[in-house]
């Protein structure tokens, strides 16, 4: 793949710019909601980027208007296949993908909800558009997190604010996300990808052995707290899924979507 070459697929776009691989969730009509196929495609492309010597940094973003609305509720309510993909034999407990040896920058262009919030939290750090919104609606949908939210969210925003987000399901705007430490920067919407690229290029310009060793050191330093917390979440999620009824999600799907859209509109007007 040459510089600035783009390959298009039905669910995920990949682009290479110098040493930066850009992955774009691409189900805009469905707000980039996660089907089982999109989860597998994302894992596959991230693994490919990690093994590609031309890639030093990955940027993960979404096709407007959303970053990711979480699990696709149609599939969740019909078969639950996407929920079944949360855990995978080759993915460590509490991770949406096998952790990369290279930095992953989340460029949050719109709403990051529930599973989408978990994808964002799994990135090494986040840069947000002014249009970004964040919400944890697991409790509204009737599923539980399995990608580390109950550990990574309080680590980012603090214990109380994390519980407020999870128990209420309310949206948090970009300015509040910056204030509580969920994102590192908020920029004008049309400057999101250029800003993320500018930061990524700064990382690419450093000694890559040093970058990757330092990143691994950060992760090992966090592991004594993160790993036990991920194990607790995994056990809780597995017990919940053992009695999970997809039809219950199907019944409440429209109400969940309508409530979320109303809150997002109110947040945008505010």
Specify the pLDDT at position 263. Answer: 67
Count Cβ atoms within 10 A of the Cβ of residue 154 and give its class: 0-12 exposed, 13-18 middle, 19 or more buried. middle
Q: Is residue 203 classed as helix, strand or coil in its secondary structure?
A: helix
Decide the pairing of beta strands 185-187 and 125-129: parallel
pLDDT tens digits, one per residue of 87-105: 999 999 999 999 999 999 9
- In 3-state terms, the chain is what percent helix, strand and coil (to 5)? 50, 20, 30
Decide the pairing of beta strands 5-8 and 12-17: antiparallel
Report the distance separating Cα 91 and Cα 46, nearest Å.
12
pLDDT tens digits, one per residue of 41-74: 999 999 999 999 999 999 999 999 999 999 998 8
Looking at per-residue pLDDT, the higher value among 149 and 239 belongs to: 149
Distance, CA of 104 to chain centre: 11
Give the contacts of 77 (CB within 8 A, at least 6 positions apart): 246, 247, 249, 250, 251, 253
Specify the pLDDT at position 4. Answer: 44
pLDDT tens digits, one per residue of 177-198: 999 999 999 999 999 999 999 9
What class is the 12-189+207-264 domain? alpha beta
pLDDT tens digits, one per residue of 120-176: 999 999 999 999 999 999 998 888 999 999 999 999 999 999 999 999 999 999 999
What would the mean pLDDT of 199-213 be, rounded to a whole number? Answer: 98
pLDDT confidence tier of residue 252, bands split at 50, 70 and 90: low
Domain boundaries, the chain: 12-189+207-264
Report the chain's mean pLDDT, rounded to a whole number.
91
- Is residue 6 over pLDDT 70? no
To which residue do tokens 């509204």 refer? 140
To which residue do tokens 């948090």 refer? 172
């Amino acid at each position: 793949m040459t510089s600035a070459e783009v390959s298009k697929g039905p669910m995920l776009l990949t682009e290479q710019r110098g040493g930066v691989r850009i992955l774009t969730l691409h189900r805009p009509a469905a707000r980039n909601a996660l089907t089982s196929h999109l989860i597998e495609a994302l894992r596959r492309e991230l693994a490919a980027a990690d093994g590609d010597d031309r890639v030093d940094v990955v940027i993960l973003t979404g096709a407007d208007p959303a970053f990711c609305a979480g699990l696709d509720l149609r599939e969740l309510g019909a078969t639950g296949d996407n929920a079944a993909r949360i855990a995978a034999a080759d993915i460590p407990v509490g991770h949406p993908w096998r952790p990369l040896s290279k930095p992953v920058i989340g460029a949050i262009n719109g709403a990051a909800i529930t599973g989408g919030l978990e994808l964002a939290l799994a990135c090494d750090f986040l840069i947000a558009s002014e249009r970004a919104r964040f919400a944890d609606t697991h409790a509204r949908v009737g599923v539980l997190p399995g990608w580390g939210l109950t550990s990574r969210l309080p680590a980012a925003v603090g214990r109380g604010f994390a519980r407020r987000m999870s128990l209420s399901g309310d949206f948090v705007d970009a300015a509040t996300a910056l204030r509580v430490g969920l994102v590192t920067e908020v920029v004008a919407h049309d400057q999101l990808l250029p800003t993320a690229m500018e930061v990524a290029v700064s990382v690419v310009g450093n000694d890559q052995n040093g970058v990757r060793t330092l990143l691994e050191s950060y992760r090992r330093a966090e592991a004594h707290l993160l790993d036990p917390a991920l194990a607790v979440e995994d056990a809780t999620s597995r017990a919940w899924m053992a009695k999970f009824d997809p039809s219950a999600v199907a019944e409440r799907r429209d109400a969940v979507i309508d409530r979320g859209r109303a809150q997002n509109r109110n947040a945008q007007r505010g």
